[in-house]
């Protein structure tokens, strides 16, 4: 029997089944066979000899359309993602209007321009949004939402809404999500907005990056994460509570303490918190929460390795230096791109540096995200019947990060000039080779929305 695609003679890595040399076949977009090496034939054969075959990476935390045209972001960023082995992203999307009224237009633009699959996470900003949750879940196939604790006192000015995003809105969204008949997920941006000062307040024009740490202290993140998780547990929803972009070692330690106390919740950190400390940052790295100290960084790595932190996401936002940089740290805007380097950085700084096993790297960049965001086992697995999203990686391949290498819409990378070891040679999206030997060979429109529950 000949298959549509065979990835042959690679070392297949799956958290559930361990590591084994095997051929992986795909037909009609799904994995159709896993067999002994060099035993399968196909119309298209990818020779993975000497390399590892992983489930396609999943970045559950991206933001498209914040600086640039929404459709353009879908095109350039999903294209660049293939270079880094990412085959699915979760676009965290917030708008003040009615989601049932606007989503069809956004989906149309996403479908036409995406090189790989995606799902939506919708920001809940008001009581009106809370009332829309049942329709969104049952009619739109969107089962994940986000609570922006940092916007608590900003929704009137930032989004033109009548009220602030107070805890009664958060309480309502948790109760509405807990009442749904299908699994849902609530992403939570932990930040005590009554401790931190507004993002918009100016400061000393001569201040450096450390001023961000002072304005957004780690304990404000920690306290907010614990408070949000406690409210979720009050409604028996803690197993669906997902703390995004954990930056503080103290927050990671409190996450472990909550687990020991019986909480069932998810935690995510980002590559920039695993790579940089505030001492190494300049205005290009401005983000909230900011990078912190060396002790925080090492705690995050330890908690990623021991299972406390489940996932790596990037908080990716595409922009250019002209769009981002201001006259000082306060005038400089937030966020930067990161999806394209997510998997290579985890392989380089985690696996090759001896901090993580390869199986654990697969868990935190793919399998756990699929489970947390209700995509598993359609995504995040190499098993018969799962989508044939695969990435072949050469763990010994060292490259210097440049914007040209990443092939996205950004003209800079905060990792620019860094030597990173561990890169994809091939990326496969639902059984079709989309990236091989340094070239993107997929097309816009190859990706599609993942309706949930799967």
**Three-state secondary structure of 62-89:** EECCCCCCHHHHHHHHHHHHHHHCEEEE
pLDDT of residue 145: 98
Q: Give the residue among 382, 239, 223 at the shortest CA–CA distance from 310.
A: 239
pLDDT value at 339 more than 80: yes
pLDDT of residue 1: 84
Please give the full DSSP string across 384-448, using - where no structure is assigned. Answer: TTSB--EEEEEEEEEEE--HHHHTSS-S--TTTT-EEEEEEEEEEETTEEEEETTEE---TTS--
Query: Per residue in 414-431, pLDDT tens?
Result: 999 999 999 999 999 999
pLDDT of residue 198: 63
Task: Pull the structure tokens for residue 187.
Answer: 């992403």
Q: How far is CA 58 from the centre of its chain?
A: 6
Share of the chain above pLDDT 90, in %: 94
Q: Rounded mean pLDDT of the chain?
A: 96
Q: How far is CA 155 from the centre of its chain?
A: 24
Q: Give the residue among 246, 372, 252, 352 at the shortest CA–CA distance from 302.
A: 252
pLDDT of residue 116: 98
pLDDT of residue 281: 97
pLDDT value at 202 more than 80: no
- The contacts of residue 189 (CB under 8 Å, 6+ apart) are 146, 147, 148, 149, 150, 244, 245
d(CA 338, CA 396): 21
Q: Name the CATH superfamily, with its identifier, for domain 57-372.
A: Metal-dependent hydrolases (3.20.20.140)
pLDDT value at 263 more than 60: yes
Strand partners, 312: 269
Domain boundaries, the chain: 57-372
pLDDT of residue 199: 58
pLDDT of residue 204: 86
- 267 contacts 310 by C-beta, under 8 angstroms: yes
| Torsion angle in degrees (nearest 10) through CA of 375, 68, 390, 356 | -80
Task: Pull the structure tokens for residue 349.
Answer: 């700084």
Taking the model in full, what pTM does it have?
A: 0.97
pLDDT value at 200 more than 70: no
């Amino acid at each position: 029997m000949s298959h549509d695609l065979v990835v042959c003679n690679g070392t297949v890595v799956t958290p559930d089944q361990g590591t084994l040399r095997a051929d992986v076949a795909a037909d009609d977009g799904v994995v159709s066979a896993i067999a002994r090496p060099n035993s399968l034939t196909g119309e298209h054969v990818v020779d993975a000899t000497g390399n590892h075959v992983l489930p396609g990476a999943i970045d559950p935390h991206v933001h498209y359309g914040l600086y640039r045209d929404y459709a353009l972001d879908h095109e350039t960023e999903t294209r660049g993602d293939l270079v880094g082995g990412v085959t699915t992203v979760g676009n965290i999307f917030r708008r003040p209007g009615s989601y049932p009224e606007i989503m069809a237009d956004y989906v149309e633009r996403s479908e036409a321009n995406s090189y790989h699959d995606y799902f939506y996470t919708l920001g809940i900003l008001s009581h009106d949004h809370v009332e829309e949750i049942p329709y969104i879940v049952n009619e739109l196939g969107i089962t994940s939402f986000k609570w922006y604790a940092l916007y608590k006192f900003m929704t009137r000015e930032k989004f033109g809404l009548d009220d602030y995003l107070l805890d009664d809105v958060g309480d309502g969204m948790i109760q509405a999500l807990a009442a749904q008949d299908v699994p849902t997920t609530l992403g939570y941006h932990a930040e005590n907005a009554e401790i931190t000062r507004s993002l918009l307040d100016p400061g000393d024009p001569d201040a450096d990056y450390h001023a961000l740490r002072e304005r957004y202290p780690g304990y404000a993140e920690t306290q907010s994460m614990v408070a949000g998780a406690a409210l979720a547990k009050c409604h028996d929803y803690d197993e669906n509570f997902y703390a995004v972009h954990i930056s503080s070692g103290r927050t990671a330690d409190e996450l472990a303490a909550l687990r020991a106390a019986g909480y069932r919740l998810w935690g995510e950190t980002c590559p920039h918190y695993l790579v940089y400390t505030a001492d190494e940052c300049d205005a290009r790295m401005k983000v909230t929460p900011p990078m912190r100290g060396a002790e925080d960084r090492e705690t995050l790595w330890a908690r990623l390795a021991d299972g406390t932190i489940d996932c790596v996401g990037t908080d990716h936002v595409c922009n250019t230096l002209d769009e981002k940089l201001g006259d000082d740290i306060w005038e400089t805007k937030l966020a930067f791109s990161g999806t394209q380097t997510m998997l290579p950085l985890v392989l380089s700084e985690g696996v090759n540096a001896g901090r993580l096993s390869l199986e654990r790297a697969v868990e935190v960049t793919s399998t756990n995200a699929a489970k947390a965001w209700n995509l598993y086992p359609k995504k995040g697995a190499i098993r018969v019947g799962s989508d044939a999203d695969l990435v072949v990686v050469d763990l010994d391949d060292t490259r210097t990060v440049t914007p040209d290498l990443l092939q996205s819409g950004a003209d800079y990378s905060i990792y620019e000039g860094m030597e990173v070891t561990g890169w994809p040679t091939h990326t496969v999206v639902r059984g079709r080779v989309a990236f091989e030997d340094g070239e993107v060979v997929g097309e816009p429109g190859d990706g599609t929305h993942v309706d949930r529950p799967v």
